[in-house]
Amino acid sequence: PRLEPDPSIIRVGSDYFPVTSPFEYFPGIPIYHSKNLIQWELIGHVLTRSSQLNMRTVEPSGGVWAPTSRYHKQRQRFYVSVGVTQRFRPDTWDLTIPCGFQVWKDDIFKRGSWSDPTYFDVLGIDQDLFFDDDGKTYFSTVNMVRDPSVIAGGLCLATSTCEIDLDSGNSLSPSSWVRIWSAPNGVAEGPHIFKLDEYWYLSTAKGGTDEGHQQWISRSTTGLLGSWETGPEGTVNPLIFKDDHAEIRNTGHMDMVTDTEGNRWAVLLGVRPQGAVGELLSSLGRETLMEWSDDGWSVINDREPIILTCEGPGLPLLDPPSSWRDDFDDLELHISWYALRTPLKAFHDLRSSPGQLALFGNAYQITDFECPAMLLRKQQQHSVKWRTRLMFDRSKRAHEAGTAI
């Protein structure tokens, strides 16, 4: 939960590992771990150095969108594919489509050991990797449809797929449009591909990420570059659509995982609203929700409304912590702290005065599109009480220090 949108999840043995979108915050792409799909621990981040993620002047809501995590069984290696949107102005839809990349590591519990990026040929957002049974790797992503012969409405954001060489990122086949939505806003994004028995499944988010956000699924028996059969509307599709629901809204960007007992689960983002439809909805941002799904057409929660609590086979009760405290008595900063964009140099110190965090100011303010000397934590509940103690050594009138929400 709390500012954890666009989840992607894998299981390796009895361990589950989801990743989520960090947007303009650094380090990028938090990784969580669980043994039971209920109790989660932050174990690290994928992009932890500027050679992997260098965000300069990224504006609010830009940065790292919708990563996909996958495990290559033959190589026994973890992969994450993602792109970095350096320019995004939603009011005018001024968007520079990024060139995505993949990074990998063999020991996911070892911090800071992800590789440097290997870039793909195909531009796009919301990159997905699929390792097929025959050893081939397929890459899916989202870009604007510019071919006038293709019917697409609104923003014309559609999903394409091609075969790639995993080690070089080079394309081995032309990209094929596999999901286009001609509805008013024309958005089909966040693709994820799965295989179950004789079917390949393609799950995409449609309608944008506000109240119209919903999830649709298609399937194919001829392969990933062939034709796709869309699930029947009303009985299968949309898999998820919450519209203006009072408890949870904006649901979509779904990924799936199979547990050790063969049960299939879906993870998806949602918003716990605080206002009316169309208003600034939640101080917690978009979060990750989990529901039980059946196979076949992967009908989610028997098409019943998704709520904040659910039942599932073999799940323990959730007992979340009610408080959190950091006395800064370690030599390294706790991994739950974030900077706004990529720091040019370190601006904090924990070693000079144990039990205290020293911040060294720089020339940037919070409102500048750069990295100010500021450390942030994610808000976990709507209503919280918090406090901090601050000592400020001010030598010039222009110097400022404080806290921000």
Q: Which two tokens stand for residue 111?
A: 């911090």
Q: What are the CA-CA distances from residue 280 to residues 21, 23, 367 (Å)?
A: 20, 18, 19
* d(C-alpha 347, C-alpha 343), whole Å: 8
Provide the phi-psi class of 359: left if phi over 0, else alpha when psi is between -120 and 50, else beta: beta
Residues 6+ apart with CB under 8 A from 118: 101, 102, 103, 167, 168, 169
Neighbours of 122 (CB within 10 A): 21
Candidate list 24, 126, 189, 287, residue with the active-site label: 189
Farthest-apart Cα atoms in the chain, separation:
70
Residues 6+ apart with CB under 8 A from 141: 83, 100, 120, 122, 123, 124, 125, 126, 127, 128, 159, 160, 191
Q: Does the annotation count 189 as an active-site position? A: yes
Sign of CA dihedral 175, 79, 239, 231: positive
List, as own/partner pairs, every contact residues 300-307 make where C-beta atoms lie below 8 angstroms and the sequence separation is at least 24, other chains included. 300/215, 300/239, 300/240, 300/254, 300/266, 303/235, 305/242, 305/245, 306/240, 306/242, 306/248, 306/251, 306/270, 307/247, 307/248
Q: For the chain, give percent helix, strand, coil, nearest 5.
A: 0, 40, 60
Neighbours of 141 (CB within 10 A): 27
Closest CA to 347 of 373, 376, 375: 373
Burial grade of 45 (CB within 10 A; 0-12, 13-18, 19 or more): buried
Provide the terminal-to-terminal Cα distance of the chain, rounded to the nearest Å: 18
Give 17's strand partners: 10
Candidate list 4, 6, 126, 291, residue with the active-site label: 6
Q: Does the annotation count 6 as an active-site position? A: yes
- Which residues are designated catalytic? 6, 189
